[in-house]
A and B are shown apart, each in its own frame.
Chain A
Amino acid sequence: MIKGRLQLEQTAFCYLAVTSLGFDTVNRMINVVTLKQKIRHSSPRYSSISHLFNSPFITLKHPLFILCAKIIRYGGNIMKKQLFVLALLLLLPISSFAGSTVNGAGASFPYPVYSGWAFKYQKDTGIKINYQSIGSGGGVRQISNRTVDFGASDAPVKPDDLKAKGLLQFPAIIGGVVPIVNIKGIGSAQLNLTGDVMSRIFLGKITNWSDPEIVELNPGLKLPDANISVIQRSDGSGTTAIFTNYLAEISKDWLAIVGAGKSVKWPVGIGGKGNEGVSNYVKRIKNSIGYVEFAYAKQNKLADVVLQNWAGEYVSASFDSFKAAAAGAKWEQSKGYYLWLINAPGKASWPIAGASFILLAKDRNDSSRQAIKFYNWAFDNGDEMATRLVYVPLPQNLKDDIRSYWKANGL
């Protein structure tokens, strides 16, 4: 029904355009459009008039177009040309909204990589992925209400909740958290900490950088006799969820006093808004410690901390250590891949990693298939872009496992 209507509009548009301007003029204008598209998208989409009339470009039901069309239809002859030009010009910027679209919403952490993938995916397949980073909480709510085709969350949704809301879940990209410090004379990957010592710093129990417990971990490093300023994220975030889950796993005190979540009641310290807020505070406040996303730390070359991992080894945050964590983890399909990638087994594993998850509605196969098509494509073609954007792609064994999970659920 909608399709029929669109075709009607296309015909109307054809008629209007050609009768009011003549074929040549329209064709010339399309050349301009093509040029603009070329500049904007680096590949031409409308190369001739026939393209234009068959393309989604004129399927727009934009009220402005309809209004202009009406004016042209019923208005005076003199203004026809100008109005048509005006209509076409006004329609140009909206032209990219046309076409078939898959809607997703949720976590802000993977937004850069999802939108990067979406851009390439649209070039390759013509299908537009519209991903809105409204936050993980919003992502879970929207897919639960079935208002989007897929949701995304930085924190895995518990198996019980998945069942209750009729959702499927799988990881799509790996990220993680890196503690950063600002101590004079200490650069990247120089300061060693254990999870236990770090938990007590964030609890406010270790308050000085020259505390014997820190000194013991760092022989040969000159630590100042200065108070530790603790910086944390003030806005609810997956980063905080991963970090606090790690501390709660390591330290019983942390679990009892603070617990884990996207926002928690911090015993000490001040809160910065977003990664940029935290890193700015850490850069500015001497002798401070904070935590940011791996990508953020890497891109801004912040002084990161070396952590002791599950196997007792000291590792620094890198693509390899994240990949090792993801590969060594015990993912389970039956639980909808519910897993915190913290303190993952393996000698080379970074201890504070986390996956970002995609949520699908079980009862809406068409939408879910569209989303899966996109992620299947991304698993095959997206690793390079993910790495370039400083995200850690899933290891191959996990990708294969996820594909079998899709199949098992009839998608």
Chain B
Amino acid sequence: MASTIKREQNLDKLFSIITFSAAFLVLAIIVSIFISLFRESLTAIDAFGFFGFVSSTAWDPVRENFGAATTLYGTLITTLLALAMAVPVALGIAVFITELCPKVLKPIFGTAIELLAAIPSIIYGMWGLFTFAPLMGEYVEPLLQRVFEPIPIIGQLFTGVPLGIDILTTSIILSIMITPFISSIVHDTFALTPVQLKESAYGIGATRWEVIKDVVVPHAKTGIFGSIIIAMGRALGETMAVAFVLGNKHEIATSLFDASATITVTLANEFTEADTDLYLSSLFYLALILLGMNFLLLAIAKTFLARKAKS
């Protein structure tokens, strides 16, 4: 009897050790990636420092003068624009599917959204390059330019030659890519709204719009926020699709029709042929900054969610 108990206890111990080491592995991988990125970027850190690197718009492989400002800017601007376009659409989709959609159509829309998330990014890139960018360059962007360019201040965003290979096209493609992430998570959290809450709102005479606005959405706030963070992470790290349609130019763009470059695209483009130590190290440094940025973003999201959960 005693031996059986002992054996069970040992098994328990063994099990917890196994699961612990599985969890620990994740931590170890993350830390080792951080360490190796840091070690590889030491040469660049020595040469440019942190603020010097982040604020410098130079990217000149010939003279070995590197800075992260242009790519950082490109990464952030495309991500923010993509979020600005994707969030409203994704929320609309989620609201429609959970609250308004006829039951028959629900699985159809739901599956379609999930399929959209399953498309590999290279396919978005090819579709973007061969189909979407020409459409943008020939029809959409000239139209936008005609309408908006005469307006002062805003007009600045629509200057330049609309080629379809630019920030606007990239942001739209990115927004299509991240929409399913947001909408499927938000849809799940919407579905978690207690029926009693909704029923009582309807009971006191609220309209459907009021129920959605005042009950469902506030209840799902953390879910919405979390989904946006996840989507942002994906947009920040997106490489292949962006490489095809952004034009890969190391410059601070002031117009939506300008080409730009992001960190991941720069890495993908230049890593294989980076032949000097400082060049390679600068690319590692860019990767480190991106990883740090993602990490920071996640940390902010986590603390926000934790505070939310407390209150």
Q: Which chain A residues have a beta carbon within 8 Å of chain B's beta carbons?
A: 108, 134-138, 140, 155, 227, 229, 234-238, 258-266, 269-273, 277, 280-281, 284-285
Contacts and interface: CB of A to CB of B under 8 A. Distances in A.
16 contacts: A135-B273, A137-B273, A229-B161, A236-B272, A238-B273, A258-B62, A259-B60, A260-B62, A263-B61, A264-B60, A264-B62, A265-B59, A270-B248, A271-B249, A273-B243, A285-B165
A138 B244 CA distance: 23
A280 B269 contact: no
B60 A265 contact: yes
Nearest to B138: A284
B60 A235 contact: no
* 10 interchain residue pairs of minimum CB distance: A135-B272, A236-B273, A234-B248, A259-B62, A271-B248, A270-B247, A235-B269, A265-B60, A137-B275, A270-B259
Contact of B274 (A227, A236, A238, A284): A236
A277 B246 CA distance: 11
Contact of B269 (A155, A234, A285): A234
B272 A134 contact: yes
A237 B61 CA distance: 12
Interface stretch (B19-27, B129-137, B179-187, B210-218): B129-137
B199 interface: no
Given A265-B60, A284-B137, A271 B275 contact: no
Given A238-B273, A273-B244, 17 more contacts: A134-B272, A136-B275, A137-B274, A137-B280, A229-B163, A234-B247, A235-B248, A235-B269, A235-B273, A261-B62, A263-B270, A263-B273, A271-B259, A280-B130, A284-B133, A284-B164, A285-B163
Contacts of B265: 234
| Residue from B59, B133, B269 with most neighbouring chain A CB atoms (10 Å) | B269
A137 B249 contact: no
Interface string B247-275: 11110000000010100010011111111
A106 B62 CA distance: 21
Contacts of B280: 137
Nearest to A268: B249
B13 interface: no
A229 to B, nearest CB: 7
Contacts of A266: 249
B247 A271 contact: yes
A106 to B, nearest CB: 10
A281 B248 CA distance: 12
Nearest to B247: A270
B272 A235 contact: yes
Contacts of B58: 265
A238 to B, nearest CB: 8
Contact of B129 (A137, A237, A262, A280): A280
B103 interface: no
A139 to B, nearest CB: 9
B86 to A, nearest CB: 24
| Residue from A238, A262, A266 with most neighbouring chain B CB atoms (10 Å) | A262
B63 interface: yes
A212 to B, nearest CB: 23
Contacts of B269: 234-236, 263, 271, 273
A263 B61 CA distance: 6
Contact of B61 (A234, A262, A272): A262
Interface in B255-311: 259, 261, 265, 268-275, 280
Interface string B37-74: 00000000000000000000011111100000000000
Contact of B165 (A227, A259, A261, A281): A281
A236 B280 CA distance: 12
A365 B135 CA distance: 57
A338 to B, nearest CB: 15
A298 to B, nearest CB: 22
Contacts of B273: 135-137, 235-238, 262-263
Contacts of A281: 165
B61 A264 contact: yes
A227 B161 contact: yes
| Residue from B59, B248, B275 with most neighbouring chain A CB atoms (10 Å) | B275
Given A235-B270, A270-B163, A271-B248, A265 B61 contact: yes
Contacts of B161: 227, 229
A253 to B, nearest CB: 14
Contacts of A269: 249
B48 to A, nearest CB: 16
| Residue from B134, B165, B271 with most neighbouring chain A CB atoms (10 Å) | B165
A262 B274 CA distance: 8
Contacts of A263: 61, 269-270, 273
A136 B130 CA distance: 29
A280 B131 CA distance: 12
Contacts of B272: 108, 134-138, 235-236
| Residue from A138, A261, A281 with most neighbouring chain B CB atoms (10 Å) | A261
Contacts of B61: 236, 261-265
A281 B243 CA distance: 13
Nearest to A276: B129
Contact of A270 (B63, B165, B274): B165
A265 B67 CA distance: 12
Contacts of B274: 137, 236
Contacts of A108: 272
Nearest to A136: B273
B63 A259 contact: yes
A339 to B, nearest CB: 18
Nearest to A108: B272
Given A137-B275, A235-B270, A235-B272, A270 B249 contact: yes
Nearest to A241: B273
Contacts of B163: 229, 270, 285
B250 A236 contact: no
Nearest to A265: B60
Contacts of A262: 61, 273, 275
A224 to B, nearest CB: 15
A281 B166 CA distance: 12
Contacts of B59: 265
